[in-house]
């Protein structure tokens, strides 16, 4: 697909320029430029988020996906074929990863959405902790989120008074994808990136973990996932975090102070959105992109043979 090739070329040039400029951070504008070039598929499989009357949405997943037909979780062809596009996005996040979650936030997948306001839903195939950010020139488009959702209440019974409405154009937001959320209507051009882990995040073949890491996708370890799931409290303000754009600079220089979240430090698409599965661990000796991620607190460990037993690498052709 031509658009994808163009996005890939642009991403490669940006990454090269950033490297030549002393590993400067990737900007929001550079991410947006590549998203604008990316050729989106008409995804008809996301019925749970589709606005009323829509038959498809522009929603793609890069990184790992769970196959609908079996228990295999594999790297998407989109990521294999266009690694720099994925790398640009993962580098952007690494550059602005808040100190508070830097050691622990891993993910298997990135959901990329274009120009639709997802209706109220809970993510079907998401282990929970997710980072979201919107890009583009638009008005509206805030994320509504129910931080106290018990994950059981029927969506029709949700009370608007229980939601929080957050500007994810200016803020990077951490939330639990398993709690109800929807996007406000908007005018203009809007893209969003959701960094999350599939429920099968601990059932990924070792080869695919390593390949994902080469694209900068930091598949979480068991302790990392546990820490992130515990960080998000079950209700209220503990159920999410937001970090304004400015705080990203703290992540760029290890000697600067912690990025400060706007919520107090407290107690501390997959295409198959309806598939349910569960949470792994991986090696320490990965290629370079990964080393920037995991460190002291919860070092990554080598995945064991038992953990990957039964998992086989299968090439999945998605329609790109």
Q: Is 320 in the site for Fe ion (CB under 5 A)?
A: no
* CB neighbour list of residue 311: distance below 8 Å, 6 or more residues apart: 72, 73, 203, 204, 205
Question: Minimum distance from CB of 66 to Fe ion (Å)?
Answer: 15
Which tokens sit at 233? 């409290």
Question: Minimum distance from CB of 142 to Fe ion (Å)?
Answer: 14
Total count of residues recorded for the chain: 320
Angle, to 10 degrees, between the axis of helix 28-37 and the axis of helix 83-95?
160
Q: Is 149 in the site for Fe ion (CB under 5 A)?
A: no
Question: Minimum distance from CB of 139 to Fe ion (Å)?
Answer: 21
> Which of the residues 102 through 131 are near Fe ion (CB under 5 A)?
123
> Which of the residues 233 through 262 are near Fe ion (CB under 5 A)?
none
95 vs 178, which CB is nearer to Fe ion? 178
123 vs 320, which CB is nearer to Fe ion? 123
Residue closest to Fe ion (Cβ): 123
* Total residues binding Fe ion (CB under 5 A): 1
Q: Are strands 164-166 and 109-114 parallel, antiparallel or unpaired?
A: unpaired
143 vs 290, which CB is nearer to Fe ion? 143
Q: Is 176 in the site for Fe ion (CB under 5 A)?
A: no
Question: Minimum distance from CB of 124 to Fe ion (Å)?
Answer: 9
End-to-end CA distance of the chain: 6
Give the DSSP H/E element, type plus range, for residue 63: strand 57-66
d(C-alpha 129, C-alpha 228), whole Å: 6
14 vs 194, which CB is nearer to Fe ion? 194
Which tokens sit at 300? 């990554």
Q: Which positions touch Fe ion (CB under 5 A)?
A: 123
């Amino acid at each position: 697909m031509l658009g994808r090739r163009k996005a890939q070329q642009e991403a490669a040039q940006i990454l090269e320029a950033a490297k030549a400029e002393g590993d400067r951070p990737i900007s929001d504008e550079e991410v947006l430029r590549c998203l604008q070039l990316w050729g989106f598929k008409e995804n008809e499989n996301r019925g749970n988020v589709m606005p009323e009357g829509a038959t498809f949405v522009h929603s793609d997943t890069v990184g790992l996906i769970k196959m609908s037909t079996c228990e295999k979780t594999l790297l998407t062809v989109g990521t294999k074929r266009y690694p720099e596009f994925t790398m640009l996005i993962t580098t952007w996040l690494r550059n602005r990863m808040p100190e508070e979650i830097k050691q622990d936030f891993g993910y298997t997948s990135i959901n990329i959405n274009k120009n639709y306001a997802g209706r109220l839903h809970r993510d079907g195939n998401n282990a929970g902790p997710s980072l979201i950010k919107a890009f583009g020139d638009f008005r509206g488009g805030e994320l509504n989120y129910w931080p106290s959702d018990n994950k059981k209440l029927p969506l029709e019974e949700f009370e608007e008074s229980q939601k929080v409405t957050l500007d994810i154009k200016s803020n990077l937001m951490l939330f639990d994808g398993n709690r109800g959320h929807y996007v406000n209507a908007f005018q203009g051009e809007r893209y969003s990136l959701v960094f999350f882990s599939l429920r099968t995040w601990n059932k990924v073949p070792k080869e695919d973990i390593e390949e994902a890491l080469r694209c900068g996708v930091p598949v979480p370890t068991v302790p990392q996932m546990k820490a992130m799931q515990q960080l998000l409290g079950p209700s209220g303000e503990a159920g999410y975090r937001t970090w304004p754009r400015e705080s990203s600079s703290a992540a760029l220089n290890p000697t600067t102070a912690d990025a400060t979240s706007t919520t107090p430090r407290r107690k501390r698409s997959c295409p198959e959105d309806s598939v349910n599965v569960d949470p792994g661990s991986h090696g320490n000796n990965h290629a370079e992109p990964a080393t920037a991620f995991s460190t002291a607190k919860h070092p990554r460990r080598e995945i064991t043979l038992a953990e990957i037993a039964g998992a086989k690498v299968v090439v999945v052709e998605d329609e790109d």
